[in-house]
Structure 1
Amino acid sequence: MIHTLAGFGKRCPTRTVSASSGRATPGSTTYRREQMDDRNDYWGRVARRRFSRRSALRGAGVAGFGLAGAALIGCGSDDDDPDPTGTPGGGGATSTGTPDGTSASATTTPEGVQRGGTLRLSLLNDPPTIDPFGNTSVSTKEFAAHAYSRLYKLGTGPDITGGEAAPVPDLAESAETDDGQHWVVRLRPGAKFHNVEPVNGREVDAEDVLLTWQDFRDPTNVNRESFAFVTDVQAVDATTVSFTLDAPSAVFLDTIADGNLLYILPKESDGGFNLAEKAIGSGPWILDRYDISQIMVWKANPDFYGDVPLVDGLEESIIPEYANRLAQFQAGNVHALGINANDVLDLRSQREDVQWRGEVSALTSIFYFNNISDPNQPWSDERIRQAVSMAIDRDALMDLAYNIKALQEAGLEVSTAWNNLIPVGHTRWWLDPQSEAQGPSAQYFVYNAEEAAKLLDSASPGGLDLKYQYTDNRYGQTFNSVAEANIGYLTEVGFRPQTEVQDYNSVYITQTSSGFFEGLAFGYETPFAEAGTYADRPFGVVDGEAIEKNRTRVVDQEILDLSRRQSRELDVDARRELLHEVQRINALHMYYIPNQAGAGTGWSAYQPEVRGIRSTRGYGDGVETRPYLWFAT
């Protein structure tokens, strides 16, 4: 059966989400907004995804598809997925089908769930650091999701697509508010850190949360402004923490659930051990061994809540080359793999027993120039940026990267949609660039080499020399094929690119992706779990200065105002329109130029014995999908 994009259902007002069952409880301490249509009630949305441990196991054998949107953020689809236990494209999304027209399905009852065994996956490379706040790399954040807990996570289940996953308690037991501005978060009773020196399995307390908050807000953390709307954090008692915001917020729970952000550290990390050398958290996996460039070995945390993980351990072999990863999957040495779209039909015919899932990720790729606010830079002229966008043939790039025509001829349903600033996979908030709703800026998404050449010549007579940079050792072949094809498109309209292929760990993630470069760069944007972050972090400004992750150093007051408004807007339809307007403004000026890597249907293959597959988005699959995997024997 082909699964198509689905929206959210009716939402109920006045709910609080508790950890005991994951269910929303009517009548709890809640935020009430009079005369709000309950379909658009934010707090109802927070609670609408009801699932308990019992209901999760009822469908544990269903392949709901699950590599964290992040794990693949080396993402995109194919080998972009370092280790698919979830979305083959790095960020959650919507299921679009399977290579044989059927979904991987459950074959056992809840009583038949079998424990034990070792889950074997693969990684493309080592994280630049294992300090969860030491880097914004997907590798670092995906590592952190295994070892550390967050206060909230994204709730997953066999019938929940990654794009639909909503915040549920993780280390917290509940989060309560009367007005949307003042929040009380209660920690899960009995939650413990790993039984590893020097923390020794002690219980998590409010002081750990405060220490984590201080570390997160340190000026060296480039993500620190993600919580700029939080004005005060206090420990009420040993198991209760209060958060005061600058205004009622539509995104507080989504933000503390974001796998890119607030991983709770033990206070012993303040001088007791080095976070870059040792990982001690309260997450579902305990790091047993890490042999750099070879393997990470994890043990299941016996003290983790919810009676998971279901397997005894997890091994992640570091295999940089996609061909080698594919060979290991074919030999049965890894349990899941993101498959290049060009290999889907061959592998399907060779291995009829393989389970398949296809999904569109919540991932967008972008061109971005450095320092476009500097009038001395030629690309401060928006005509040059518009020319770049009109120079690329998005449909042709989709076929190159995702084998569209061949898969369609084989009868598979695949996505052909175009990314915007907010990616296709964020279906509730994405604005279709090919729709009338895009308005006048739609013209800049359409391939028109002749017009692109005219725009470039009018802004820079005779064309333009520029440095073009990207990384080719993190995101996989889908991304690399698009990055290489971009060169031809740029050259065709009069750009003269000098290409620099950068090492991911030492150059791209530490310098280029933070705006420290010259010329034109191409890369993936972080697959933000909360869609409003696309209107926030890429345009972030503090005290008149662009933050590091404002890669272009643009200052657009209209977008800043819209971003602030959308984060406080509790009516879903009104908030959607605000985010659509941000996408229109970005496209008009092409501050960030959306590209097609990440927009297509990504495919993941699973060995026939794998069960409990789930989907998420962002970087959290270490806690949101992998603990629920098990093997049928």
Structure 2
Amino acid sequence: MAYRRFNLRAALLLGAVLVASSPALAEAVLHRGNAGEPQTLDQAHTSINIEEFILKDLYEGLTIYDATGKIVPGAAETWDLSDDGLTYTFKLRGDAKWSDGSPVTAEDFAFSFRRVEDPKTAAGYANILYPIKNAEKVNKGEAQPADLGVKAIDEKTLEITLERPTPFFLELLAHQTALPVSKASVEKNGADFVKPGIMVSNGAFKLVSHVPNDNLVVEKNSNYWDAANVKLDKVIFYPIDDQAASVRRFEAKEMDLVYNFSADQIDRLRGAYGDQVHVSPTLATYYYAFDTRQEPYSDVRVRQALSMAVDRDFLAKEIYSGSQIPAYSMVPPGIETYGEPAKADFSGLSQLDREDKAIALMKEAGYGEGGKPLDIEIRYHTNPNHERVATAIADMWKNTFGAKVSLVNLDVSSHYAYLQEGGKFNVARAGWVADYADAENFLALSLGSNKTFNYGHFQNPEFDGLMKKSYEETDPAARSKLLHEAETLLMKEQPVAPLLTQADLWLVSGRVQGWHDNAANQHLSRFLNVSE
């Protein structure tokens, strides 16, 4: 017995040495470039995808996008929908826990949704949950948060009642605004609940540290219900909006993922890195917004003329190396429930004919050669691609109308904060990536009641009326017709000038496993791994 015990002990000691020195058990760390500093880590105030990428690693909604961009169960294991399409009953996972070990409850979700709609919260994206019964009334102060159509039946059963049948509701629940917060943590910590060392999250990772404009570190959450299948130990996000610097760090093998590199580098990078360069078509529109509150942008003729004078083919081919498609509709192609989008009526003209028509419209409005001078300021957020687009458009407007055009840029967070807070401007660059695959998501940006994303403060009762009817219409074909009528009107009025249908540009290191390009641009770190 003594001999056997000795050998067992020796074997255990040898095993410990081997385990300690095994590279297979080294810490698995993913280094993610994230294209900018997040404005917030509060679900109720998030609005851009560089925040979404982080938040969806930290938190898990009732539904999530899997690695291929499909909606699958998240914190909810199952759900049922009533025959009238108005009531969802979600069963939360029995082993769903917060990072502090406490259970994730139905009341946490009900509390979170009420918090988003409570006008005191001032959530910029509150409208994403408007399909929930009384959500819009609560958000506008016409009803109390307690009146919201969410109810915790028991600890693990959540009932959500809708205003009307909403075919894309499960997609809405995968949006970052619908991510839950821990009721106990928010009530205890207030606004500090987002800070490292305080944040309690229910996703695959937990927040460890955040050095603004340097890095944000998350580590595997051992209390996550599917922790056994999470292969990464740590993810480090780098908020770099300098695209050239991001590419250099990728080439130096300091970063595994780079989001939105400069499009003029596509050919060079493909030559050097082959299939590590990903150009993924997506449901997204690159557009310019006009501030309709002030002259001359309050004049539809001026907006139409400026839009017509933009050579979208040049932008797509010369600036984006063919990775983007010229756009003449606000809704991108590829939405099954909508079909072919409604394009601006000048889309069928040659660029020369557009310019001739644009000059005539501008002259009729009293601007340009022989009329009032055109002084235009284009705002955009720091990015070489956006700078090249703005410079090209400035040149087009100068050559066509004799306009004097200046450029102003801010970092991405400041740029969107300025627009969302109602700052005045002339023309501003913006982009919209589908929150869900439905035309309404793009058209609703221009509703008069949309105080957050209607950057140009466009007001048109006829447009609003068509959208209202579409919300009340349950027949899919009739609803699609109403949305097409609304888009036709929007493209006639041009408060927004769609320029390009976008593609997502990613650099994905060969050491990253589990990556799938998808139109939803969803790449949760829990589905990824790294190998040496």
TM-score range, shorter chain: 0.7 to 0.9
1:453 aligned to 2:359? Answer: yes
Once the two structures are overlaid, the 10-residue window that deviates more, 380-389 or 582-591, is 582-591
Measured against aligned partners, the alpha-carbon deviations of 1:376-410 in whole angstroms (never above 9, x if no partner) come to 64322211111111010010111122223xxxxxx
What corresponds to 1:55 in structure 2?
Answer: none
Note closer, same or farther for the CA distance 1:300–1:276 as it changes in structure 2 (3 Å cut).
closer
What corresponds to 1:271 in structure 2?
Answer: 187
Of 320, 343, 353, the residue aligned with 2:265 is: 343
Note closer, same or farther for the CA distance 1:604–1:536 as it changes in structure 2 (3 Å cut).
closer
Shift of 1:334: 1.6
| AA of the residue aligned to 2:129 | F
For 1:523, what is the secondary structure of its paired residue? strand
Shift of 1:563: 3.1
Of 466, 469, 476, the residue aligned with 2:378 is: 469
Distance 1:343 1:251 in 2: 37
Shift of 1:600: 4.9
Distance 1:333 1:147 in 2: 23
* Contact 1:297 1:315 (C-alpha < 8 Å) held by counterparts: yes
* Contact 2:249 2:255 (C-alpha < 8 Å) held by counterparts: yes
Distance 1:569 1:308 in 2: 43
Once the two structures are overlaid, the 10-residue window that deviates more, 378-387 or 340-349, is 340-349
Superposition TM-score, scaled by structure 2 size? 0.81
Of 160, 169, 173, the residue aligned with 1:256 is: 173
Shift of 1:419: 5.3
Shift of 1:244: 1.8
1:399 aligned to 2:317? Answer: yes
Of 432, 435, 445, the residue aligned with 1:538 is: 445
What corresponds to 1:88 in structure 2?
Answer: none
Shift of 1:234: 1.6
* Contact 1:532 1:563 (C-alpha < 8 Å) held by counterparts: no
* Contact 1:250 1:567 (C-alpha < 8 Å) held by counterparts: no
Note closer, same or farther for the CA distance 1:443–1:378 as it changes in structure 2 (3 Å cut).
farther
Of 234, 237, 245, the residue aligned with 1:316 is: 237
Distance 2:363 2:55 in 1: 47
For 1:583, what is the secondary structure of its paired residue? helix
Of 225, 228, 240, the residue aligned with 2:157 is: 240
Shift of 1:534: 3.0
Structure with the higher helix share, 1 or 2: 2
Distance 1:466 1:218 in 2: 41
For 2:467, what is the secondary structure of its paired residue? helix
Distance 1:505 1:440 in 2: 32
* Contact 1:562 1:578 (C-alpha < 8 Å) held by counterparts: yes
Shift of 1:568: 5.8
Distance 1:245 1:510 in 2: 30
1:193 aligned to 2:65? Answer: no
* Contact 1:535 1:559 (C-alpha < 8 Å) held by counterparts: no
Shift of 1:531: 2.6
For 2:283, what is the secondary structure of its paired residue? coil
Note closer, same or farther for the CA distance 1:609–1:140 as it changes in structure 2 (3 Å cut).
closer
Note closer, same or farther for the CA distance 1:497–1:396 as it changes in structure 2 (3 Å cut).
same
Shift of 1:513: 4.0
Shift of 1:285: 1.4
What corresponds to 1:62 in structure 2?
Answer: none
For 2:201, what is the secondary structure of its paired residue? coil
Of 193, 206, 211, the residue aligned with 2:111 is: 211
Measured against aligned partners, the alpha-carbon deviations of 1:219-272 in whole angstroms (never above 9, x if no partner) come to 21121122223222222111122222222222322222223x211000124332
* Contact 2:278 2:517 (C-alpha < 8 Å) held by counterparts: no
Distance 2:110 2:526 in 1: 27
* Contact 1:535 1:563 (C-alpha < 8 Å) held by counterparts: no
Distance 2:67 2:470 in 1: 25
What corresponds to 1:304 in structure 2?
Answer: 224
Shift of 1:612: 0.9
Distance 2:116 2:508 in 1: 36
Note closer, same or farther for the CA distance 1:595–1:445 as it changes in structure 2 (3 Å cut).
farther
Once the two structures are overlaid, the 10-residue window that deviates more, 450-459 or 606-615, is 606-615
What corresponds to 2:7 in structure 1?
Answer: none
Measured against aligned partners, the alpha-carbon deviations of 1:129-171 in whole angstroms (never above 9, x if no partner) come to 22222342333333221211211123443xxxx5xx3x32211
For 2:88, what is the secondary structure of its paired residue? strand
Distance 2:407 2:345 in 1: 34
* Contact 2:266 2:321 (C-alpha < 8 Å) held by counterparts: no
1:629 aligned to 2:528? Answer: yes
Shift of 1:214: 1.9
Superposition TM-score, scaled by structure 1 size? 0.69
Distance 2:344 2:497 in 1: 16
1:117 aligned to 2:22? Answer: no
Kindly, what percent of the aligned residue pairs are identical? 20
For 1:242, what is the secondary structure of its paired residue? strand
Shift of 1:467: 4.2
Distance 1:499 1:613 in 2: 41
Shift of 1:189: 1.6
1:420 aligned to 2:420? Answer: no
Distance 2:195 2:402 in 1: 45
For 1:310, what is the secondary structure of its paired residue? coil
Where in structure 1 are there 5+ consecutive unaligned residues? 1-112, 195-199, 405-413
* Contact 1:258 1:618 (C-alpha < 8 Å) held by counterparts: no
Measured against aligned partners, the alpha-carbon deviations of 1:526-554 in whole angstroms (never above 9, x if no partner) come to 54334334355313344xxx523222222
For 1:221, what is the secondary structure of its paired residue? coil
Distance 1:619 1:629 in 2: 14
* Contact 1:147 1:287 (C-alpha < 8 Å) held by counterparts: yes
Where in structure 2 are the equivalents of 1:69-80 lying within 5 Å? none
Note closer, same or farther for the CA distance 1:427–1:604 as it changes in structure 2 (3 Å cut).
farther
* Count of residues paired in the alignment: 481
* Contact 1:389 1:444 (C-alpha < 8 Å) held by counterparts: no
| AA of the residue aligned to 2:424 | F
Where in structure 2 are there 5+ consecutive unaligned residues? 1-23, 134-148
Note closer, same or farther for the CA distance 1:355–1:256 as it changes in structure 2 (3 Å cut).
same
For 2:44, what is the secondary structure of its paired residue? coil
What corresponds to 1:169 in structure 2?
Answer: 73
Shift of 1:300: 1.7
* Contact 1:295 1:318 (C-alpha < 8 Å) held by counterparts: yes
Distance 2:206 2:437 in 1: 28
Distance 1:620 1:593 in 2: 27
For 1:380, what is the secondary structure of its paired residue? coil
* Contact 1:466 1:495 (C-alpha < 8 Å) held by counterparts: no
Q: Between Structure 1 and Structure 2, whose CA radius of gyration is higher?
A: 2
Note closer, same or farther for the CA distance 1:426–1:547 as it changes in structure 2 (3 Å cut).
same
* Contact 1:176 1:183 (C-alpha < 8 Å) held by counterparts: yes
| AA of the residue aligned to 1:421 | M
* Contact 1:514 1:550 (C-alpha < 8 Å) held by counterparts: no
For 1:528, what is the secondary structure of its paired residue? coil
Of 532, 547, 550, the residue aligned with 2:454 is: 550
Distance 2:507 2:403 in 1: 40
What corresponds to 1:104 in structure 2?
Answer: none
Shift of 1:632: 4.4
1:520 aligned to 2:438? Answer: no
* Contact 2:305 2:361 (C-alpha < 8 Å) held by counterparts: yes
Distance 1:562 1:271 in 2: 41
Q: CA RMSD in A?
A: 3.0
